[in-house]
Amino acid sequence: MKLAVVGTGYVGLVTGVCLADTGNDVHCVDIDRAKLEKLKRGESTIFEPGLADLLAYNLAAKRLTFTDDIAAAVRHADVIFVAVGTPPSDDGSADLSQVEATCRAIAQHAPGPRIVVTKSTVPVGTGAWAEKLMAGLSKHKLTVLSNPEFLKEGSAVDDFQRPDRIVIGSEDPAASAVMKELYEPFVRNKRPILIVRRAASEMIKYAANCYLATRISFINQMAELCGRTSVDIDEVRVGIGYDERIGFQFLYPGIGYGGSCFPKDIPAMIAVGREAGVEMSILDAVHKLNQRLPTILLEDAKSYFKGSLSGRTFAVWGVAFKPRTDDIREAPAIKIIDGLLAAGATVRVHDPKALPHARAKYGSRIQCLDDGYAALDRADGLFICTEWNEFRSPDFARIRSSLKQPVIFDGRNVFSGELMRRHNFDYYSIGRPPILRA
């Protein structure tokens, strides 16, 4: 099938590469020429396990083309995916200006009927609006479908190739059949392709993200309460997780969620509710709690150092918002780093993949080190903000000898209290009593 994907960000790039890998002829469009040149050379512009190999393989097979010529891509394709950004506006609602510009370009250049698929996360009603917009600009039938993505950064390739479900929002049976044909290679394990109304598909994406963010915030608020009442959140989490109605997924306490989805989708859903006259009080609480969570670890540090962090040096392990990605957008680590800098501290940062983005954001305001142990040298303490696997079994003797005082502020509960006692660390974590040496 001949396809176009407009936007080569996280969603667009994964979508284009994975669809090319099943034999489709895919043209990926972007306005960033520097990014396009890298992609043409087979250099992935994001870190995502497995993506670089698929990119190189499908480029070599000539099934994948990168271009800034949207007109040519629209003429080439039977199905056009819209995967451009929908950043938050000042009021929290989704900014659809990139979606609108893309739809206008499609309408202008389409030489005949086309299926246009919104892959971007968009508010309910966007598909109907986009279809009406293009109908006024083109004499051809441009059918808009919704096909939300459910990709997790760090496992996006596997999620695309082995989805737990595919959702297609459509008012057109013929267009739905085309999409089912396109996705059948990915559901040979008998996972469902759900055909729903277009508005329902748009709502499904937001509802899924909002529910997952709510689970994260629930356990984080329980952790905050446990921390104030000398209860261990791990014991509570295990006690409720074995309830089959609850389970353990997304039930791990920490300093909050980040990334490109939850932090913008929660305010966007609140805005949708506001426009519909529904007070989204639960989501408002989720958003406010997540904004505040990193400050809890900073307050622990201020308490430990008698109220002031000024003049001290801290190592921060982990800048990415989660492991297996280089994405630092809305990462809790950013709030930790900003808080330390505002308090007058010197910050040394290590991350296995995200250091280029940290350098671009902070410049000379922080030190970015490829060696995590080098970041510890004569530092006053260590903050852990991302639960990379390589942080789970470090050389504790080396950590202890490098730090001025053996104190760890763990925002992801990477270590157990028993382990910290055995290695004689002062240790602060989320929702568990602090470990303090005698």
Establish if 327 belongs to a structural domain: yes
* 249 shares its domain with 191: no
Which residues, other chains included, contact 168 with Cβ-Cβ below 8 Å and sequence gap of 6+?
A: 145, 146, 147, 176, 179, 180, 183, 193, 194, 195, 196, 201
* 289 shares its domain with 418: yes
Alpha carbon of residue 418 to chain centroid: 32
* 157 shares its domain with 273: no
| pLDDT tens, residue order, the chain (438 aa) | 999 999 999 999 999 999 999 999 999 999 999 999 999 999 999 999 999 999 999 999 999 999 999 999 999 999 999 999 999 999 999 999 999 999 999 999 999 999 999 999 999 999 999 999 999 999 999 999 999 999 999 999 999 999 999 999 999 999 999 999 999 999 998 999 999 999 999 999 999 999 999 999 999 999 999 999 999 999 999 999 999 999 999 999 999 999 999 999 999 999 999 999 999 999 999 999 999 999 999 999 999 999 999 999 999 999 999 999 999 999 999 999 999 999 999 999 999 999 999 999 999 999 999 999 999 999 999 999 999 999 999 999 999 999 999 999 999 999 999 999 999 999 999 999 999 997
Residue whose C-alpha is closest to residue 351's, from 343, 336, 341, 342: 336
Q: Which domain holds residue 251?
A: 232-438
Which residues, other chains included, contact 398 with Cβ-Cβ below 8 Å and sequence gap of 6+?
A: 373, 376
DSSP string, 24-36: -EEEEE-S-HHHH
φ/ψ (deg, to 5) at 313: -120, 135
* 167 shares its domain with 307: no
Residue whose C-alpha is closest to residue 414's, from 436, 401, 430: 430
* 388 shares its domain with 245: yes
Establish if 222 belongs to a structural domain: no
* 191 shares its domain with 249: no
* 117 shares its domain with 175: yes
Establish if 214 belongs to a structural domain: no
* 302 shares its domain with 369: yes
DSSP state, residue 329:
T
| Active-site position among 28, 103, 226, 261 | 261
State the total domains in the chain. 2
Tell me the C-alpha distance between 76 and 110, whole Å. Answer: 9
* 279 shares its domain with 404: yes
Establish if 216 belongs to a structural domain: no
Under the phi-then-psi rule, with left for phi > 0, alpha for psi from -120 to 50, and beta for the rest, what region is 406? beta
| Dihedral Cα 206, 204, 257, 355, nearest 10 deg | -90
Establish if 207 belongs to a structural domain: no
Q: Which of 170, 196, 222 delimits the end of a domain?
A: 196
Q: Which of 177, 196, 215 delimits the end of a domain?
A: 196
Contact indicator for 36, 45 with CB cutoff of 8 Å:
no
Q: Which of 196, 222, 249 delimits the end of a domain?
A: 196
Q: Specify the CATH number for the domain of residue 80.
A: 3.40.50.720
To 10 degrees, what angle do helices 51-60 and 10-20 make?
50
Contact indicator for 12, 4 with CB cutoff of 8 Å:
no
Which residues, other chains included, contact 235 with Cβ-Cβ below 8 Å and sequence gap of 6+?
A: none
* 381 shares its domain with 429: yes
Residue whose C-alpha is closest to residue 400's, from 386, 384, 379: 379
* 329 shares its domain with 423: yes
H or E element that contains 157: helix 156-161
Residue whose C-alpha is closest to residue 83's, from 8, 194, 135, 175: 8
Tell me the C-alpha distance between 28 and 324, whole Å. Answer: 24
* 391 shares its domain with 322: yes
Tell me the C-alpha distance between 103 and 341, whole Å. Answer: 43
Establish if 51 belongs to a structural domain: yes
Catalytic status, residue 226: no
Establish if 223 belongs to a structural domain: no
Establish if 203 belongs to a structural domain: no
